[in-house]
A and B are shown apart, each in its own frame.
Chain A
Amino acid sequence: MQANLHELKSICKEVRQDIVRMTAAAGSGHPGGSLSSVELLVGLYFAKLRHNPEQPNWPDRDRFILSKGHVAPLLYSVLARSGYFPVEELTTLRKMGSRLQGHPSMLVLPGLDNTSGSLGQGLSQANGLALAARLNKQDFRIYCLLGDGELQEGQVWEAVMSSAHYKLDHVCAIVDYNGLQIDGDVEDVKGLHPLTDKWQAFNWHVITIDGHDLEQVLQAYEEAASVTGKPTVIIAKTVKGKGVSFMENRPEWHGKAPNKEQLEQALAELAD
């Protein structure tokens, strides 16, 4: 499905509403980082990714590997709105018997390309898929969304070396650089700066964008697809909790659900 900018913006609005509704209904979950990655994922699923919700296991589909598994609410909303399962199912998030596990399990929900929840492991999986595609002579691309705090995991940098070593130009990493993690400011907890230089030094093609500007997001995916001989990372500057005034830039909203009043206020703000 190819959507125009206007349609994409309206999908982003729906997805943000889904995220606060789902986490409120669950009474737990991770709205902060879900809200910061909305444009990154909506732009990908509704304008770039080659996929077919009618055929979730189509072998030649592009893959989306979620490395920061806690933003499951965002991915579930995007998958439902793409047509993988009914939107009504979203409010079963985190409930007993639901296919929408607290962190994504690929065995139970169609549309998921990986299982995640333990941080730092997604990029390795993306690399493995890229190696498999190369051996199988398939042309699919693999996108992998990472959190910025997640980059503190050593395995990420092992994988960053592997992607570059094997010249995996079909791998596109996306870093949601919202600057916050549970314990506070990423730079205070264990700083990443200078992040762009780090990826460049590891022989990646680096694109930095405003992760809430859909035009920049789409352009970045275009550019990534044109790069050959090396992997691409999109470092997307974002705002944690984007779109909900009392959540924006507040680390405590990393993993907390809104109560009834907060939900109403959030939905009112997101309706504008």
Chain B
Amino acid sequence: MKMKPTRDGYGEALLILGEQNPDVVVMDADLAKSTRADWFWDKYPERFFDMGIAEQDMLGTAAGLSMGGKIPFVSTYGVFVAGRAWDQIRTTICYANLNVKIGGAHGGISVGPDGATHQSLEEIALMRVLPNMQLIVPCDAIETRKATLAAAEIKGPVYIRFAREATPVFTTEESPFEVGKAVELQGGDDVTIIACGPIVYEALVAAEQLAGEGISCRVINMHTIKPLDVESILKAARETGAIVTAEEHQVNAGLGGAVAEVVVKQAPVPMEMVGVMDTFGESGDPDELAVKYGLKHTDIKAAVKRVLKRK
């Protein structure tokens, strides 16, 4: 299987947008090489602004650029953009519904050796609570490219979360992608696994292994957290009667929480959530960390078995 970091999809999309739309501008806060914003910088230097190590100013400046008719794409690590500049995103950008696109890089524990300070595990919670914000967590590099291109077409704030490590590229150019519309990757009757980001691949591996044990799993790629595809969740709840969510994010207030908000109100079924269990990460190899913090296909399989017992 081809491996590629989702951040590459962001960089590729910016190059396409740079050519297609003269109003697209790109900003970064001294991390352009890591976020892949430097690809745009090399090609369109007059439309790139390095804002230095000043995330709050970067988001405010992006707001001003959008007020002047531009479509700014700003990127830096998720911890610094979603966390440090949250009030700028909330009050200046979302309240005024400004056309600012945020590329949140290095999402998840897979950032690895840099440790807990740089492992962003809170962006889904921080962004999905904001009115007007749309939030996309693509599953591979191809989908990240599509999501970034789609963001440019949306009038209003969009946050795209992507990651550092190379992960499996398992969608194709032809795979459907529409903001707000979940993708059913695999049909199934016993349980539904709903996941977002590169961990969707782990969900597919889990489903395949469970099929060998006679358990039929539906797998949904919930790439858009907001607006959430409520219909696909309700359909899954009603048809399979049990749901497991999986995300490389704090288990509290993330994808699992978003799905549970829908399920408890309209179609209560047993749920289990796979994610980081209300703890900070640590330095380590990405795969070692995924094992320790319960983010592997084995953890999803265990969650499926737990939820089936409660059905």
Contact = CB atoms under 8 A, between A and B. Distances in A.
B214 interface: no
Nearest to A115: B96
18 contacts: A114-B63, A118-B88, A124-B56, A125-B64, A128-B60, A128-B61, A128-B62, A128-B72, A129-B65, A131-B25, A131-B64, A131-B68, A135-B25, A135-B46, A155-B60, A158-B56, A159-B60, A166-B49
B227 interface: no
A166 B96 CA distance: 25
Contacts of B65: 128-129, 131-132
Interface of B: 25, 46-47, 49, 51-52, 54, 56-70, 72, 87-88, 90-92, 95-97
Contacts of A128: 60-68, 72
A132 B64 contact: yes
Interface of A: 59, 63, 65, 105-107, 113-118, 120-133, 135-136, 154-155, 158-159, 161-162, 165-166
A230 to B, nearest CB: 17
A131 B61 contact: yes
Contacts of A165: 52
Contacts of A155: 54, 56-57, 60, 88
B96 A105 contact: yes
Q: Top 5 nearest A-B pairs by Cβ distance?
A: A128-B64, A132-B68, A124-B60, A158-B57, A158-B54
A158 B54 CA distance: 6
A59 B70 CA distance: 12
B91 A161 contact: no
A154 B57 CA distance: 9
A162 B55 CA distance: 12
Contact of A125 (B63, B90, B97): B63
A159 B61 contact: yes
Contacts of A130: 64
A129 B70 CA distance: 9
Contacts of A113: 67
